Copies of this chain bind each other. A is one copy, B any other.
Amino acid sequence: MALIVQKFGGTSVANTERIFNVADIVTKTAAAGNQVVVVVSAQGDTTDDFIEKAGEITSNPPAREMDVLLSAGEQISMALLAMAIEKLGFRATSLTGWQAGIRTDLNYGSARIHKVKPERIQSLLDRNRIVIVAGFQGINSHDSITTLGRGGSDTTAVAIAAALHADLCQIYTDVDGVYTADPRIVPGAKKLDEITFDEMLELATLGAQVLHNRSVEMAKKYNVDLEVVSSLTRNPGTKVKEVTSVEKMIISGVACDKDTARVTVCGLPDEPGKAFRVFSLLAKNKINIDIILQTSSNQPGTKQDISFTVATASREAAVKILEENKDRLHFDSVTSQDGLAKVSIVGSGMVSNPGVAAKMFEALSDAHVNILMIATSEIKISVVIDIADSGRALRAVHDKFFE
């Protein structure tokens, strides 16, 4: 007998037919002799409907009350799912976030889970109940309802799995796993059977569609075995683990982020603290930086350039802030460019396999793709290229490693 946490997103419970599909998955898991905790999101468009209702009242709803409103969504879906499971002849009990012991910090709208007090869930499991828990919500130290922000239900599922020492946490979605590349762009993309937590985190642009980073970080921290499965096909999905067991492919996936702009600060004085001053200024203005590159200078004392990438929407603001502080930062000029894309390969195998970068650059060269920036980490290599080349680049790199 295993203890399995199964999470279902909003599209999986969007209507009566799909609710019964979920009930079927859950009850088959229980009938196979497992204890099951189910985490559900709000049905389909419920959250959007609520946001619209609030928007009719005020353009600036108080965050606490927004969470009271939004959390009603999972309360609806969890009750309906419990009814469907009971209809199939199993015993089910639904619990809101506070009933399930999901304690969070005070940040309405984007709370983080402090701890899970699993006693009530455990006691229901001990009495042979299937337990359904509202995803995305918890309760803070004021006994007020909070919501967890984007990817919240995945995080709820992983947190409960960690607290209950579950054998497996299954994330059911409408895709059937994590692929080596986006199948809409790369026709030859393959489903991965396994991937490590670190690879999954680096593959954020692929993974965001199926698993939110917060949940992967938490799974890594508490070593919770995750599985991404399709609630429609029910085929074996992708397992996300600390260490993958099979003989490793060198890389796990190829990702492409098309929302990339480059900003270059030219002619900075070569002195300690110049990078700190530039990036603390940008951070203070809430501009998220992705890649940072600094050209090394051959001659000490000469001026230097620093380039970085930001989301396209942040480019103008970044340039404006830098220019307003030109005198204080002592640089010569700022240039910027949007319409760029970042193509990355990710794989823990590359640590022990030299020549991975060269192989990637060869693929890009063969495909006549010009590289504007290169950045590497231990398990990732990213290149910034023209967005017009991105599809061709993605396919070329993918085929080089996976064909």
Binding site for B on A (CB under 8 A): 16, 19-20, 50, 53-54, 56-58, 61-62, 64-66, 68-69, 71-73, 75-76, 78-80, 82-84, 86-87, 92-94, 96, 98-99, 120, 143-145
Contact A68/B75 with A56-B16, A80-B54, A143-B99 known, Cβ cut-off 8 Å: yes
**18 other A-B residue contacts (CB within 8 Å) besides A20-B57, A65-B82:** A16-B56, A50-B76, A53-B80, A54-B79, A54-B80, A54-B83, A58-B86, A58-B87, A61-B83, A62-B86, A62-B92, A66-B79, A66-B83, A68-B79, A69-B80, A72-B75, A72-B79, A120-B143
Query: In terms of DSSP, what is the predominant structure of the interface of chain A?
Result: helix
CA distance A75 to B67 in the complex (A): 10
Please name the residue on chain B nearest to A78 by beta carbon.
B68
- Bound together, the chains give a CA A245 to CA B92 distance in angstroms of 55
Query: How far is B277's CA from A166's CA once the two chains are assembled, in angstroms?
Result: 59
Q: Which residues of B lie under 8 Å from residue A57 when comparing CB positions?
A: 16, 19-20, 80, 83-84, 87
Q: How far is the CB of A386 from chain B (nearest CB, A)?
A: 46
Q: Quick one: closest B residue to A15, CB to CB?
A: B56
Determine whether the beta carbon of A64 is less than 8 Å from that of B84.
no
Pick from B50, B69, B75, B99: contact of A69, CB under 8 Å: B75
Residues of B close to A65: CB separation below 8 A: 79, 82-83, 86, 92, 94
Measured CB to CB, the closest approach of chain B to A274, in angstroms, equals 46
Contacts A75-B71, A75-B72, A94-B68 known; A62 to B50 CB distance under 8 Å? no
Which residue of chain B has its CB nearest to the CB of A74?
B72
CB-defined contacts of A69 to chain B, threshold 8 Å: 75-76, 79-80, 83
A233 to B16, CA, bound (A): 42
Contact A62 B76 (CB under 8 A): no
CB of A371 to closest CB in B, whole Å: 50
Q: Of all chain B residues, which has the CB nearest A132?
A: B65
List B contacts of A16 (CB < 8 A). Answer: 53, 56-57
Complex Cα gap A230–B87 (Å): 43
Q: Which residues of B contact A78 (CB under 8 A)?
A: 68
Contacts of A73 in B (CB 8 A): 72
Contacts of A87 in B (CB 8 A): 57-58
* Structural contact, A58 and B72, CB atoms closer than 8 A: no
Q: How far is the CB of A58 from chain B (nearest CB, A)?
A: 4
Give chain B nearest CB distance to A136 CB in angstroms.
14
- Please give, as numbers and ranges, the residues of chain B lying within 8 Å of A82 by CB-CB distance: 62, 65, 68
- How close is A74's CB to chain B, nearest CB, in angstroms? 9
- A58 — which chain B residues lie within 8 A by C-beta? 83-84, 86-87
